[in-house]
Amino acid sequence: MHIHILGICGTFMGGIAAIAREAGHRVTGCDASVYPPMSDQLEALGIDLIDGYDPGQLALRPDLWVVGNVVSRGNALIEAILDAGLPYVSGPQWLAEQVLRGRWVLAAAGTHGKTTTASLLAWILEQAGRAPGFLIGGMPRDFGVSARLGGSGLFVIEADEYDTAFFDKRSKFVHYHPRTAILNNLEFDHADIFADVAAIETQFHHLIRTVPASGRVVVNAADPALARVLARGLWSSRTDFDSPQGWHAAELAETADASEFTLLLGERRIGRCRLPLAGAHNRSNALAAIAAAEHAGVAPEQAIEALGRFGGVARRLEVRGTVDGVTVIDDFAHHPTAIATTIDGLRARIGRSRILAVLEPRSNTMKLGAMKALLPASLSGADRVFCYSGGIGWDVTEALAPLGERLRVESDLDALVDAIVAESRGDDRVLVMSNGGFGGIHAKLLNALGRRARGDR
């Protein structure tokens, strides 16, 4: 079958493309801007990419058009598909029908930690010899790809609550029908599609309704929003983490780049775990992954051993380079809670060295300004804050005014780079936070720092 994917360079749709290609389908695709790293990954798989949504793509005559949620009515290609009466389907529906049906799906859901938790879980299953398939919204370094078909009946998926497509406004995760569902946490997000946190809770309730009675829900017992979700109904078994009665960590020993703890299930002492990730949030992610893997038949002692060899996830405090003593770091953080956690995590690693936080408020929620009141506090742990205001419809300078003289706002990317380089000095960490490519700012910063070191103008 030939499928043509609209919005192919997003992590989710690009993952679908890779899985479809591995399954033997002919795959082509398009996006508004064909961009790396996904474009590089897809081209390496032999997938032809088209830049833009020109209706002339109808000449490809695929058997099926797979539509990403980035595409909306008014898009020229979608209008041509609808006018011609051609067959189309959403990405989540295609995945559910062609890949997930009949498999044991392990889904990691929550506002934060989905990518890391799904990566940890896939790695545990891999090390236990279970060869899972997976589709993750990031790049687990241990695998080198964000998605694969897998060689067993197990499939790990990052379960996103964002809507499915322009014609299906349910959350993506209701399509997946997991047998094991992880609920990491729940906060307000995606202000472009949800009116309030109660609306998101309803979608999580719908997810719970799809888990079979023989399935299991792995729940962060410390999260009040999740407690409200489960109070609306639970038809499966339940196991908790971050709870004295469930999976929890004790005898903690934190270092700059790792977390050591004793793993317990209730009063039962399992063993000592060394996780090569720091912070309480990553311990929670690991507990959730251990609990989910145990439901799929992997002993927690095996999980502990696997976690000690976990290689991490790209774009999670990822060092992009050091020039002239200044280190440029990339992170996906874009929600105020994630921003604060990321800054705190970096601070734990570097001690008193300066953090120059660089933020692109790129998500739809950020562009709407729904989280702007929370941003100053989330950025307060940084020594300097640089914010890109291009394309933002609210007054960034006014919203971040509580940061005082630490703040610099620029609407021009090159001017922002110049300001950061002028401020930076040896042993600084420049922490770039965005859920997109940020105009290639990482390379721009490293090149500008190189010119400064050479004395070039």
Q: Secondary structure of 225-264 in the HEC alphabet?
A: HHHHHHHCCCCCEEEEECCCCCEEEEEEEECCCCEEEEEE
Domain boundaries, the chain: 2-92, 102-307, 318-454
DSSP-derived 3-state class of residue 442:
helix
State how far the Cα of 67 lies from the Cα of 10, in Å rounded to an integer: 12
Burial (0-12, 13-18, 19+ Cβ within 10 Å), 244 = exposed
How does DSSP assign 346-360, residue by residue?
Answer: HHHHHTTS-EEEEE-
Place of tokens 């660089």: 358
Q: Tell me the two tokens of residue 279.
A: 């912070």
Show Cβ contacts of residue 270 under 8 Å, excluding neighbours closer than 6 positions: 262, 263, 264, 300, 301, 304
Cβ atoms within 10 A of the Cβ of 418, count? 14
Report DSSP state, residue 37: T
Cβ atoms within 10 A of the Cβ of 75, count? 19
Helix axes 280-295, 300-307, angle to 10 degrees: 140
Show Cβ contacts of residue 372 under 8 Å, excluding neighbours closer than 6 positions: 361, 366, 394, 396, 399
Pairing of strands 147-148, 133-135: antiparallel
* CATH 3.40.50.720, domain 2-92, yes or no: yes
- Could you give the C-alpha distances from 125 to 262, 288, 305, 338, in angstroms and in order? 21, 13, 12, 27
Q: Are 421 and 447 in contact (CB under 8 A)?
A: no
- What's the whole-model pTM score? 0.87
Per-residue pLDDT of the chain (457 residues; tens, 9 = 90+): 999 999 998 889 999 999 999 999 999 999 997 766 677 888 888 999 999 999 999 999 999 999 999 999 999 999 999 999 999 999 999 999 999 999 999 999 998 889 999 999 999 999 999 999 999 988 888 998 899 999 999 999 999 998 999 999 999 999 999 999 999 999 888 777 888 999 999 999 999 999 999 999 999 999 999 999 999 999 999 999 999 999 999 999 988 778 999 999 999 999 999 999 888 889 999 999 999 999 999 999 999 999 999 998 877 788 899 999 999 999 888 888 889 988 988 898 888 999 999 999 887 777 777 788 999 999 999 999 999 999 888 999 999 999 999 999 999 999 999 999 999 999 999 999 998 888 899 999 999 999 998 887 6
Range 338-367 burial, b when 16+ CB lie within 10 A, else e: bbbbbbebbbeebeeebbbbbbbbbbebbe
Range 285-321 burial, b when 16+ CB lie within 10 A, else e: bbbbbbbbbbbbebebebbbbbbeebebbbbbbbebb
State how far the Cα of 313 lies from the Cα of 121, in Å rounded to an integer: 12
Show Cβ contacts of residue 301 under 8 Å, excluding neighbours closer than 6 positions: 270, 271
State how far the Cα of 162 lies from the Cα of 376, in Å rounded to an integer: 26
The pLDDT assigned to 36 comes to 65
The pLDDT assigned to 2 comes to 97
∠ CA 390-396-398, nearest 5°, is: 150
The pLDDT assigned to 5 comes to 98
Q: Tell me the two tokens of residue 441.
A: 């700012």
The listed CATH number (1.10.10.10, 3.40.630.10, 3.40.1190.10, 3.55.50.30) that belongs to domain 102-307: 3.40.1190.10
Pairing of strands 168-171, 163-165: antiparallel
- Could you give the C-alpha distances from 13 to 7, 10, 75, 110, 176, in angstroms and in order? 7, 5, 17, 20, 15
State how far the Cα of 200 lies from the Cα of 198, in Å rounded to an integer: 5
Q: Nearest Cα to 207, choosing from 188, 233, 225, 185?
A: 233
State how far the Cα of 434 lies from the Cα of 397, in Å rounded to an integer: 18
Report DSSP state, residue 99: I
The pLDDT assigned to 39 comes to 79
140 - beta bridge partners? 313
Q: Tell me the two tokens of residue 50.
A: 């088209």
- Could you give the C-alpha distances from 353 to 147, 160, 223, 297, 384, in angstroms and in order? 37, 35, 33, 44, 12
State how far the Cα of 42 lies from the Cα of 131, in Å rounded to an integer: 22
The listed CATH number (3.40.50.1980, 3.30.70.100, 3.40.50.12160, 3.90.190.20) that belongs to domain 318-454: 3.90.190.20
List pLDDT tens digits, range 366-390: 777 778 899 999 999 999 999 999 9
Tell whether omega for the bond before 178 is within 30 degrees of 0, i.e. cis.
no
